[in-house]
Amino acid sequence: METVLDEVCASCGSDRLADGRFCLFCGDLLSDPSPRKSSPSRAAGSLRQHSAIVSSDIEYAGFWRRFWAGSIDLAIEATGALVLTYAIDLILRTFGRGFGIDPWDSKVFTGVAFILILAVGSWLYCAFAESSAWQATIGKRLLGVRVISADGSPTSFGQATVRHFMKFLSLFCLMIGFMMSGWTKRRQALHDMPCDCLVVRTR
């Protein structure tokens, strides 16, 4: 029978969630105090993985560097969406009346198109860029940072996708989720933790 122990983060003293790997307050990698049985190979693999993280001498990217990188990316995404939306608006104004589309419907369609293009475009831009050989969007690359998994490996498209959509959680928490990258031990924002990602400086 498995014994349940009081589980707290050794770094900040905050209560941890059951089966959690990382502290939700400081982002530190947690030890497992409960006497769970595990195979020797799995334990050795976990130990090697943790050692690789500790010994790699990673320099984490701080809040302001991430803020400016994100601002550049947001400008790129908005500019791309505006260009495509303008092209759609131009087509509708030129050919819309021939298909029975009045100017008001054209403006509504253009506004909806901008929102959809920005939403889908920003997702594909971030997910493809961060899972590519660059491991970074253009803004992150210009500011000298990249996104990796906690074990040091490149992020997958799925990881980058989860990370992107979890940004809405950071946003809806009064943007505190973004600001967490300024004080957590591994400089993780809230949206980095569920997908087990780190934002680090390039060497």
Residue 40 lies in a domain: no
Q: Which domain holds residue 78?
A: 63-201
pLDDT digits (tens, 9 = 90+) for 146-196: 999 988 889 999 999 999 999 998 888 888 889 988 888 889 898 998 888
Task: Please say if the pLDDT value at position 35 is more than 50.
Answer: no
Domain count of the fold of the chain: 1
pLDDT for 1 equals 41
Phi and psi for 148 in degrees, rounded to 5? -135, 165
Residue 28 lies in a domain: no
